[in-house]
Amino acid sequence: MLRALSLALPQAALPALLMVVIINLSSLPQPAGASELGKRKGWVIFESEKPYETLLQDLRAAVKAEGLVVVTQAGPTQAAAARGITIPGNRVVGVFNNDYAVRILALSTAAMIEAPLRFYVTEVDADHTHLAYKRPSFVFAPYLNEGGGRLLRISTDLDRRFAAIAQAALH
């Protein structure tokens, strides 16, 4: 494209045109840094001074104590290490139980795509981690037209339980 434009512009104008293009490109939104989680709609984010592995263990114990089950766990940290790449600890922990699954399925088949609901543990450095999750009421909001007030009550109950899990894991 610049080549086609250069035919119509005097050679002296090309550096100015190139500067305009660079300035315009640099004003576009840039990706955020990967080390910190920023505020996002529907998310609850906590900072912790617990080491990554300790926070993960405490999260798993808190989930169990609250009567939910760790259904899934996934993260790139170990796979990256196996490839010789070191990255900060990063783990998504899926949490749910069969009681909620059966109750939600009775209200909205589509809503079950959101299960299990997830906690996200990220390591910033050796003594600084984040624990985050999307509020269940936020996650299930798109399905309220199908599930109505009963789905709203389930999701707000899950909000309470997720908050309790987070507090227990952080302390």
Which position has the higher pLDDT, 30 or 162? 162
Q: Please tell me the predicted confidence (pLDDT) of residue 14.
A: 46
Res. 46: pLDDT tops 60: yes
Packing angle between helix 144-170 and helix 52-65, nearest 10 degrees? Answer: 120
CA 26 to chain CA centroid, nearest Å: 27
Res. 23: pLDDT tops 90: no
Res. 100: pLDDT tops 70: yes
Q: Please tell me the predicted confidence (pLDDT) of residue 127.
A: 86
| % residues pLDDT > 70 (the chain) | 79
Using an 8 Å Cβ cutoff, are 166 and 131 in contact?
yes
Cα–Cα distance list, 85 to 37, 92, 127, 146, 166 (Å): 22, 19, 21, 45, 30
Q: Please tell me the predicted confidence (pLDDT) of residue 12.
A: 61
Q: Please tell me the predicted confidence (pLDDT) of residue 11.
A: 59
Q: Which phi and psi angles does 116 have, rounded to 5°?
A: -80, 155
Domains of the chain in start order, with CATH, are 1-30 (no CATH), 43-170 (3.30.310.70)
Q: Please tell me the predicted confidence (pLDDT) of residue 37.
A: 78
Q: How far apart are CA 166 and CA 138, in angstroms?
A: 17
| Low-confidence winner among 4-13, 49-58, 75-84 (lowest mean pLDDT) | 4-13
Res. 133: pLDDT tops 80: yes
Res. 54: pLDDT tops 90: yes
pLDDT in tens, 57-85: 999 999 999 999 999 999 999 999 999 99
